[in-house]
Amino acid sequence: MKYITHLFLLSILILGCQFKSKQKNSNENLAKEEPTFSLNEAINYCTAQASQTLKLIPEGELLPRNITRENNNEWKYVSYKDWTSGFWPGILWYLYEYTGDEKWRQEADRYSRYLIPLSNQSAIDHDLGFQVFNSLGNGYKLTKEQEYKEIVLRTADTLATLYNPNVGTILSWPREVPGMEWPQHNTIMDNMINLELLFWASKNGGTDSLYDVAVNHAQTTMENHFREDYSSYHVVVYDTLTGKPIKKVTHQGYSDDSMWARGQAWAIYGYTMVYRETKDPKFLDFAQKVTDVYLKRLPKDMIPYWDFNVSNIPNEPKDASAAAVTASALLELSDYLDDTEKSNFYRESAEKMIRELSSSRYQSREKNTAFLLHSTGHYPNGSEIDASIIYADYYYLEALLRLKKLQEGVPVIDTAHNTRTSSGL
């Protein structure tokens, strides 16, 4: 009996050792596939990739926009007129901020200057904030270069010319949009981001009315652009004269009633920023509502498909850009909440997104010189599907730098310019 008991115990010991050894091997395999996330390594990775991209950009005032299979996995370049033109200079300014290296300042200045004509012509759409604030605006915040400031202020005035007081929003596309019949006043969710340019200008020498335009736009959008569950419509078309909504449709989403991933990400980022600029608690509350519906419906890996309602999930392209925008916004939002549990939840969610984006599944690494793979620009148009896109890289780097600041106990946003705290309405 004693012999049998010893044999039994010995077998358990051997089996246990085998299980442990298997587990160790599989952990080692996992570790080989995906080393532990290192924030510094992720930022250094972006720096190295951007250095490579710099060597590839041809002469001729061109800015990198995307890398697609259709373009043989090479960068497609655009001029300053393209809505994405501000992201590459914006990345260069972030790298200058992080490294303090003069090389990045010179490159950021060179590419930012390509966009100056935008401040000297009338507005052809609302994207002036994406373009001029991300480039020369970021440049001004870091260098206090007066010339940049004047350019940004002029551009804010240009953007404000698109404001329609009957409606209470900016006309996002004052031109024909291919495939869409929008004779009246259209406003798209993406427009929320460009309000930051107006807020900044109103606090840095521009007129008070710029602040009012931004607040009115945010308020009107809050009232008309969202369903009961706080998911957003991409486009609302208003009657130009009465200001009444005529229809609510999509342009880049799956259907008029669906939650287009990047549209919702713009809403999360936009209302977080509007709260920062106004300190009005209703916007903080709203930022959380539009965030919660997004987080609740995310897949396990925290990176959304290009639209939350698209019919063929999980066999649909992802949108890493929406994840990057959201991660960056949530790091800011988490900083504004007194409710520790909720603040931690947003911050942990953002960190999970960043870790996933920093894995071999999403980083471009040796595949190309962008930072990230798997963004979707305009699925219904068949363009930029499962691609590297420059704005995904911009918000990814922004999120990494914000996380670094949080870890160092530094405020996520430099609010030195935020001298105005009450609404002038």
Q: What does the DSSP 8-state code read for residue 255? A: S
Distance CA 270, CA 188 (A): 12
Assess 224 for contact with ligand GLY (CB under 6 A): no
Q: For residues 194 and 202, which CB has a smaller minimum distance to ligand GLY in the complex?
A: 194
Q: How far is the CB of 409 from ligand GLY (least distance, A)?
A: 33
Footprint of ligand GLY on 61-100 (CB under 6 A): 83
- In this structure, how many other beta carbons lie within 10 angstroms of the beta carbon of residue 241? 11
Q: Specify the 3-state DSSP secondary structure of 305.
A: strand
- Indicate whether 217 belongs to the interface with ligand GLY (CB under 6 A): no
How many Cα neighbours within 13 Å face the side chain of 20? Answer: 6
**Least distance from ligand GLY to the Cβ atom of residue 357, Å:** 17
Q: Kindly state the number of chain residues that form the binding site for ligand GLY, as judged by CB under 6 A.
A: 5
Question: Would you call 125 a catalytic residue per the annotation?
Answer: no
Least distance CB 84 / ligand GLY (angstroms): 8
- Tell me which of 190, 307, 319, 335 is the catalytic residue: 190
Q: How many CB atoms lie within 10 A of CB 179?
A: 8
Smallest distance from the beta carbon of 127 to ligand GLY, in angstroms?
7
- Nearest approach, Cβ of 333 to ligand GLY (angstroms)? 20
Site membership for ligand GLY, residue 190 (CB under 6 A)? yes
Q: Are the CB atoms for 203 and 417 separated by under 8 Å?
A: yes
Find the residue with minimal CB distance to ligand GLY. Answer: 190
Sheet of 245-249: strand order equals 185-188, 235-238, 245-249
Listing DSSP states for 164-198 in one string gives ETTTTEE-S--S--TT----SEEEEGGGGGGHHHH
**CA–CA separation, 382 and 40 (whole Å):** 36
Build a one-symbol-per-residue string for 240-259: x at contacts with ligand GLY by CB under 6 A, - elsewhere.
------------x-------
3-state SS, residue 64:
strand
Residue tagged active-site, from 82, 101, 109, 127: 127
Q: Minimal distance in Å, beta carbon 190 to ligand GLY?
A: 4
Backbone angles phi, psi at 184, to 5 degrees: -100, -150
Q: Is position 326 an interface residue for ligand GLY (rule: CB under 6 A)?
A: no
Nearest approach in angstroms of CB 234 to ligand GLY is 9
Please state whether the peptide bond connecting residue 314 to the residue before it is cis, i.e. omega within 30 degrees of 0.
Answer: yes
Residue closer to ligand GLY by CB (options 202, 252) is 252
Quick check: is 256 catalytic?
no
Question: Is residue 262 at the binding interface for ligand GLY, with CB under 6 A as the rule?
Answer: yes
H helix count then E strand count, the chain: 14, 8
Site string for ligand GLY, 362-401 (x = CB under 6 A): ---------------x------------------------
The pair of structure tokens assigned to 296 is 């609740």
Cβ at position 252, least distance to ligand GLY in Å: 6
**In this complex, which beta carbon is closest to ligand GLY, that of residue 260 or of residue 346?**
260
Rounded Cα distance between 217 and 191, Å, is 9
Could you tell me if 138 and 203 are in contact, meaning their C-beta atoms sit under 8 angstroms apart?
no
- Residue 342 or 378 with smaller CB distance to ligand GLY: 378
Structure tokens at 127: 């994207």
CA–CA distance, 401 with 398 (Å, rounded to integer): 5
Cα dihedral 93→252→169→147 (10° resolution): 20
Query: 258 vs 278, which CB is nearer to ligand GLY?
Result: 258
Nearer of residues 37 and 83 to ligand GLY, judged by Cβ: 83
CB closer to ligand GLY out of 163 and 269: 269
Which neighbouring-strand residues pair with 226? 232
For residue 312, give both structure tokens.
């063929």
Tokens 């486009």 belong to residue: 235
- In the bound state with ligand GLY, the residue whose beta carbon lies nearer, of 89 and 377, is 377
Binding track, positions 265-304, relative to ligand GLY; x by CB under 6 A: ----------------------------------------
For residues 144 to 183, the per-residue mask of contacts with ligand GLY, x marking binding by CB under 6 A and - elsewhere, is ----------------------------------------
The first and second tokens of residue 34, run together, are 């995906």
The contact set with ligand GLY (CB under 6 A) reads 83, 190, 252, 262, 377
Residue numbers annotated as active site: 127, 190
